[in-house]
Structure 1
């Protein structure tokens, strides 16, 4: 396995706080710093394409993925993203091959996956205790192998966005127009849905099922309030996400705080959103 100790040493050097000298805190920060740019760019597209409900359905399918892993004595850290990927692609396939509206399709999957997960958990009450850390998130337990997977996902996502960003804009405006410009709409949508599902599932470990959609939506919404173009919106979302995860992890480790890392990260992002609303209001005046 690749040695990640130089990365952890760099994090400790760049963030010379007492709490960041612990190895597990360096691992957690590495995971969050990899997730931040991915959720920033995907969050912008989720906001622009009105796919917040889609990401919410994927995150809640984590219940079923975790429950299946625990039931069959497999690592939930792997069954969860695998199951989320299947659900994300399943939603996209049904959207493309049925006459139902997108919200209806997503709602059916949302309800079915939550019910499936709860049904599995209800058969074994001891599973409920293990599900709690996925409900609230626990980035402090991230492993080196999971960080390596995040690095691979980050590289894959950046390659996809570099090649397909303009195509996704076409599809978001008008799929028929995109086809007229010879954009392979189905391929782009399937890749986007699969990557979004993986980003959401890995984010569940950071902030939990209840808050994972907020990690996508809140920074993108704040960036939209203060930006004047699609390019500046990305950089603002990246700044807000990166500062939120850094401040959130450090604050949560302080003796006077002792709060859940995921919740603290989202609260910092919400602070950014409030500030962006004030700036937007002052600009309008």
Structure 2
């Protein structure tokens, strides 16, 4: 860890002199590639509404951790988000109702339950930081946790990628090849839940879904192959992450929101360039 901080501290920029900025920069380098990767399947499989529901469900996970007292809010958030994602995936596959209806029911119920529990005794204000997030508050322990999540998600992604790709192209063909849609989608949903849970305290519940949509949406405008689609999505996420962090530091603004705005700018730029790339 000391080596990484020393390398960042050697960069020729004024902001690297602050230890909290070094930690935030490391966090951005670890988490934005994951958002870039996973967002490709979120966009390809039309899961934007589902990923948004994970952020809403996070309210309940945080509230349950506080309600039980001895349970870490972050631990309860991760566990609840995974269970929430798996339950939605299971019911979506079993119910005759449309997917957006099922997700909408769970999303609205989870956020209402979370708000109800958080407001118990008038104590909601202390949880308001989760709405906006603050990546400048990331600690060295958080960096270690992010590094573990990075390795875990990257490994699971490598295992699931081909199955997810086939499912995104043709679900019937995937079934004929022996690919279980439920288990593959459940594993991917669990990955999304872990990433959202571990990042939400720095990005914020209100805008977390943008990081799971904008990188791939921007990449889709200017790519013609699967490989370039994923590469450009990761590049967009990392570029916006670094640029947003530095702009937020220089102008004293919320880093998570600034990163999302930087991604939105990239999306509109690639949208304008789309006629020159996609034929």
TM-score (structure 1 length as normaliser): 0.92
Q: CA deviation at 1:142?
A: 2.1
CA RMSD of aligned residues (A): 1.7
The correspondence for 1:194, drawn from 169, 174, 190, is 190
Aligned equivalent of 1:43: 39
Aligned equivalent of 1:64: 60
Where in structure 1 are there 5+ consecutive unaligned residues?
Answer: none
Q: CA deviation at 1:60?
A: 0.9
Where in structure 2 are there 5+ consecutive unaligned residues?
Answer: none
Deviation digits for residues 229-270 of structure 1, max 9, x if unmatched?
11101111111111111111111111xx11000011111111
Aligned equivalent of 1:25: 21
CA–CA distance in 2 between the matches of 1:111 and 1:250?
35
SS in 2 for 1:187: helix
Aligned equivalent of 1:273: 267
Aligned equivalent of 2:51: 55
Instruction: Give the conservation status (yes or no) of the 8 Å contact 1:63–1:131.
Output: no
Equivalent positions of 1:1-285 (< 5 A) are 4-13=1-10, 15-73=11-69, 74-126=71-123, 128-254=124-250, 257-282=251-276
Change (3 A) 1:183 1:284: closer
CA–CA distance in 1 between the matches of 2:18 and 2:72?
25
TM-score (structure 2 length as normaliser): 0.94
CA–CA distance in 1 between the matches of 2:160 and 2:120?
44
Instruction: Give the conservation status (yes or no) of the 8 Å contact 1:223–1:233.
Output: yes
Return structure 1 stretches of 4+ with deviation > 6 angstroms: none
How many aligned positions are there? 278
Q: CA deviation at 1:224?
A: 0.6
CA–CA distance in 2 between the matches of 1:54 and 1:232?
25
Deviation digits for residues 28-82 of structure 1, max 9, x if unmatched?
1111111111100100100000000000000111111222223333432222222
